[in-house]
Structure 1
C-alpha cells in the first residue's frame, strides 16, 4: 500500500508545460521551480499536473 501512496505522490509532483505549441514534460516540481526562477516559464505559461482538471495558466496554480 505504501508503494501506491509514493507513486501517487510522485505523479502529483510531475508537471507538464506548453511552449511554442508543444507540450513538454514530465518534469519534477524542483525543475518547475528552477524554470520559473530562471525565467523559462512565465505567468501565462500553460501547465498541467495530476489533480488539475485541465491545463491552466501558471499564475492559477
Structure 2
C-alpha cells in the first residue's frame, strides 16, 4: 500500500540519495494519463541528471 511504499522509498533514498524513484498507482482510480505522466517525469529527471553528470565530467 501507499504508506508501506513511502517508508520503503524513504529508506532507499537515504541509502542512495541519487535514486530516481516514483510511485505509479495501478488501481481503478488512477488514470492512464496520470500514470504515463509520472513515468515521463521520472524519465525526464533521469535524462536531465545524466546530461548534468556528462557535462560536469567534460569540463
TM-score, normalising length from structure 1? 0.33
Larger strand proportion of the pair: 1
TM-score, normalising length from structure 2? 0.34
Larger helix proportion of the pair: 2
Larger Rg computed on CA atoms: 2
